[in-house]
Chain A
Amino acid sequence: MDSSDNEQVRLLGKWASPFSNRIDLALKLKGVPYKYSEEDLANKSVDLLKYNPVHKKVPVFVHNGNSIAESLVILEYIDEAWNNNNNHPFLPKDPYHRALARFWCKTLDDKILPAIWNACWSDEKGREKAVEEALEALKILQDELKEKKFFGGDTIGLVDIAANFIGYWVSILQEIAGLELLTIEKFPKLYKWSQEYINHPVIKEGLPPRDELFAFFKASAKK
């Protein structure tokens, strides 16, 4: 598979979106060059509508003219398409641990991310309950981490990539919301993981700048 021409690998995304960022991280981990297009969701491009007619959302990944949408689907595709020479596999080989990784990715998207997002954007009335659910969600995630350095073991795996929101976005959003969700006191293991994560040499380069992300969400909070 000739992937040396970066015109053939494209990512349509939004810089502030953790879902879009997952794909940046994955491509950087695999060392795949790509062309990035920033999408304006208020003014969707012809390409976005062409490559993701079903959901019309980002991220959208295009490889040799073939488009794929939905971040978790894209991540698995990238892992399978660039797997020669044991090039940083995101998933283990054995079926049970693969199933476990997929389960945690889905649980992140279906349960954990929404709980934290709701807590950070909740109004006075719903705040207490939303925060309780967010803390419960973080506990579940920490229980899964156990004593591992990353969810993938010694190296960054699929769950770590999918958990970029937890590793990076949560600290910014909770500060804006004036909440203490992921802290070293409340979740020491998960906090430690987040520090390993954002200081990982490849991940560090792939995450959007903190001050810009902070300003972006702070502006959204004011509306």
Chain B
Amino acid sequence: MADEVVLLNFWSSPFGLRARISLAEKGIKYEHKEEDLLGNNKSTLLLEMNPVHKQIPVLIHNGKPVCESLNIVEYIDQVWSDTSPLLPSDPYQRAQARFWADYVDKKVFPAQKKLCFATKEEKESAEKEFLDAFKLLEEQLGDKDYFGGDNFGFVDIAFVPFCSFFKNYETVGSFKMEEEFPKICAWAKRCMQKESVSKSLPDSQKVSELFSEIRKKFGVE
């Protein structure tokens, strides 16, 4: 039976990007359906497939929806298990991978969001929170090629989408990513050499324009 794979997404979403990169790593053909989130016009399909959160990304595999980006990555890894494993096989290593991916969601995502939309008054504390959150990842990466060790894996997939925002962080912050986080920056370049990443990451100019537009809407530009 031919697999029917659909991804409901928004082009700049880092969460959607996790799904795209995973699908690309496994060489899976899929239909990409863009949701009109800016126009506040969610499709009937999205509302039907993710009634609880009404959010992208949603992976629809042979008509059945899988929601939540890290969940989607694990699902993809399990279903298409014969190639490019995304998670380690050892239970403890898997637990560590899940922990750090969860850290990206719990600490990194909120901190970078706060920084991007901070008012003048909030900027100093937002920047500190951001630097602290990223610092732990810089330490965790250490001298490894990837967060997964020798191979690109789950934590790399969880974090790499945020690389498309690095220039934005420098625009709003008073730091340089390369100076603060040399290991992460080197890792980002390494990841960009992978086709699954470079072909999936959105156009950086478009991202900057969207970023500017949203900041204007929030009144912080």
In the complex, whether B2 has a CB less than 8 A from a CB of chain A is no
B window 78-135: CB within 8 A of A: 78-79, 91-92, 94-96, 98-99, 102-103
B95 engages A103 (CB within 8 Å): no
Contacts of A77 in B (CB 8 A): 91-92, 94-95
B66 engages A99 (CB within 8 Å): yes
In the complex, whether A76 has a CB less than 8 A from a CB of chain B is yes
B52 engages A96 (CB within 8 Å): no
Q: Which residue of B61, B68, B99 contacts A73 across the interface (Cβ within 8 Å)?
A: B99
Q: Do A80 and B91 contact each other (CB < 8 Å), given the known contacts A54-B103, A73-B99?
A: yes
Q: Do A68 and B99 contact each other (CB < 8 Å), given the known contacts A63-B92, A95-B79, A98-B78?
A: yes
Q: How many residues of B contact A (CB 8 A)?
A: 23
Cα of A188 to Cα of B168 in the assembled complex, Å:
50
B71 engages A68 (CB within 8 Å): no
Residue of A nearest to B80 (CB): A95
Total contacts A-B at CB 8 Å: 58
In the complex, whether A107 has a CB less than 8 A from a CB of chain B is yes
B74 engages A102 (CB within 8 Å): yes
Cα of A102 to Cα of B66 in the assembled complex, Å:
10
Cα of A76 to Cα of B96 in the assembled complex, Å:
11
A80 engages B94 (CB within 8 Å): yes
Cα of A94 to Cα of B126 in the assembled complex, Å:
42
Within the complex, the shortest CB–CB distance from A222 to chain B, in Å, comes to 31
In the complex, whether A74 has a CB less than 8 A from a CB of chain B is yes
Cα of A96 to Cα of B136 in the assembled complex, Å:
33
A54 engages B136 (CB within 8 Å): yes
Contacts of A73 in B (CB 8 A): 95, 98-99, 102
Q: Do A103 and B68 contact each other (CB < 8 Å), given the known contacts A80-B94, A96-B61, A140-B52?
A: yes
Cα of A76 to Cα of B52 in the assembled complex, Å:
23
Extra pairs beyond A77-B94, A96-B66 (17, CB < 8 Å) = A70-B98, A72-B102, A73-B95, A77-B91, A77-B92, A80-B94, A81-B92, A95-B79, A98-B74, A99-B66, A99-B71, A99-B75, A103-B68, A103-B71, A107-B52, A107-B53, A111-B53
Contacts of A95 in B (CB 8 A): 75, 78-79
Q: Give the dominant DSSP class at B's interface.
A: helix
Chain A residues touching B, range: 20 to 34
Q: Give the dominant DSSP class at A's interface.
A: helix
**Which of A73, A96, A99 has the most CB atoms of chain B within a 10 A radius of its CB?**
A99
In the complex, whether A129 has a CB less than 8 A from a CB of chain B is no
Contacts of B98 in A (CB 8 A): 70, 73, 76
B68 engages A102 (CB within 8 Å): yes
In the complex, whether A159 has a CB less than 8 A from a CB of chain B is no
In the complex, whether A69 has a CB less than 8 A from a CB of chain B is yes
Q: Contact mask A68-98 → B, CB, 8 Å, 1/0? A: 1110111011001100000000000001101
Within the complex, the shortest CB–CB distance from B78 to chain A, in Å, comes to 4
In the complex, whether B157 has a CB less than 8 A from a CB of chain A is no
Q: Contact mask A37-71 → B, CB, 8 Å, 1/0? A: 00000000000000000100000000100101110
